Amino acid sequence: MPADPNWKKARDLLVQDIAGGFIPDDMNPSDVQQLRVEYCVCIVENFKKNLQSLRKRMKKKSDTAITDGLFLNADRETFPETGPSLFPYPRWPGSAAERLLKQDISDGHVENQKPQTVWLSRPEYQVFPLSIFRKHIYQEGYKRQAKSYWMNRQKK
């Protein structure tokens, strides 16, 4: 059978209608085709096969999303973002050291300094081991470089 040039537009609308619950799973393809003008212009045989295939793909994606959500919730119960840390030092996200490091980098206090010098400059930093703190300095630098790079790419 030849490819149906009208299928792409119909497919996009079908995805919205199926996801929105407008088209039930048990609805007959010929009944579905009568719902919109965009569906009616599709070749009948192609529409039936494409609809069946689309329903299968959407069901599989939905099942995958549900499974992923269950695993994510289990991981969050095992490793909550709040509460005690698994390490002998506090969590970096949301810490005073994170906030101060971002401020110091923005103010230019970290530039041209060794990580150890920066680490010794504040008692909040020294709560973390130097090796961990050093990684956060580099991570923040990489993040800022990447942000400007991607913003420039987006403009192009």
CA distance 39 to 30: 10
Quote the pLDDT of residue 88: 82
Q: What is the pLDDT along the chain (156 residues), one digit of tens a residue?
A: 567 788 888 999 999 999 888 999 899 999 999 999 999 898 888 899 999 999 999 999 999 999 999 998 888 788 776 666 667 888 888 899 999 999 999 999 988 999 999 999 999 999 999 999 999 999 998 888 887 777 777 777
At 75 the pLDDT is 84
Q: Helices in the chain by DSSP H: which ranges?
A: 7-19, 29-33, 37-40, 44-78, 96-107, 115-121, 130-155
Single-letter amino acid code for the residue at 104: D
Which pLDDT score is estimated for 84?
66
The pLDDT score that the predictor gives to residue 148 is 75
C-beta atoms surrounding 11 within 10 Å: 19
pLDDT score, position 106: 92
What pLDDT, on the 0 to 100 scale, is given for residue 85? 66
pTM above 0.75, yes or no: no
In angstroms, rounded to a whole number, what is the distance separating the alpha carbons of residues 156 and 147?
14
What is the model's pLDDT at position 113?
92
pLDDT of residue 23: 92
* Amino acid of residue 66: I
pLDDT recorded at residue 76: 79
Give residue 89's pLDDT: 84
